[in-house]
Chains A and B, each alone.
Chain A
Amino acid sequence: QQPVQSPQAVILREGEDAVINCSSSKALYSVHWYRQKHGEAPVFLMILLKGGEQKGHDKISASFNEKKQQSSLYLTASQLSYSGTYFCGTEQAGTYKYIFGTGTRLKVLA
């Protein structure tokens, strides 16, 4: 039931790109993406509401493939501040539950 994220962890050099995937076994109403720094609450990045929707701001964007029940987060030209753990948050269709993905630890090195 918990969406699976891949990769589990990734290390980048500043300026490199990364893609984080979130795959659910259940139909999704929406997908949200968050970044969490150690010891802090997750910070909301963006929400994707419709199948095929793509959103982005600055160098972070995301897509939502409703049919495949998948979402991907794209980080381009990564910065040191991008380091943290990324979670997808999902509203599962037919329920009122909000479930987080397994998480992806991302570390950007100078």
Chain B
Amino acid sequence: GAVVSQHPSRVICKSGTSVKIECRSLDFQATTMFWYRQFPKKSLMLMATSNEGSKATYEQGVEKDKFLINHASLTLSTLTVTSAHPEDSSFYICSARVSGTGGGGYTFGSGTRLTVV
């Protein structure tokens, strides 16, 4: 089945540094990827929609200069958290829509738990 590989799975960084999270579609082309953030015991909140070859579309309240999204190819989208602060600590997940496989649906990366100290 369609697989999205997300790395790293866990990262601890110092406040003020930047962290890059990668999502790769392994056996399909992901024209569109979605990036979500999930705080403990909360739902997944859409941060931005990433389209290959164009600028990402950010949701209201999400700082585009802080959360840099790049979707340079059909198999790779990256999220860079710049100048991270403790309040950025969260679970970040990417997702891509998969058409024509098992009735359709969205496949998710395994998630990245970011801890900013």
Chain A contacts to B: CB under 8 angstroms: 2, 30, 32, 39-42, 44, 46-47, 49, 87, 89, 96-103, 105
A103 to chain B, nearest CB (A): 5
Identity of the chain B residue whose Cβ is nearest the Cβ of A45 in the assembled complex: B105
**What are the residues of chain A within 8 A of B49 when measuring CB–CB?**
96-97
Chain B contacts to A: CB under 8 angstroms: 32, 34, 36, 41-46, 49, 91, 93, 95, 97, 103-111, 113
In the complex the two chains form, is A44's CB within 8 Å of B42's CB? no
A100/B46 contact (C-beta < 8 A), A41-B93, A47-B104, A49-B104 known: yes
In the complex the two chains form, is A42's CB within 8 Å of B113's CB? no
- Name 19 A/B residue pairs within 8 A (Cβ), A-sorted: A2-B43, A39-B111, A40-B110, A41-B93, A41-B108, A41-B109, A41-B110, A44-B105, A44-B107, A47-B104, A49-B104, A89-B106, A96-B49, A97-B49, A98-B34, A98-B95, A100-B36, A100-B44, A105-B41
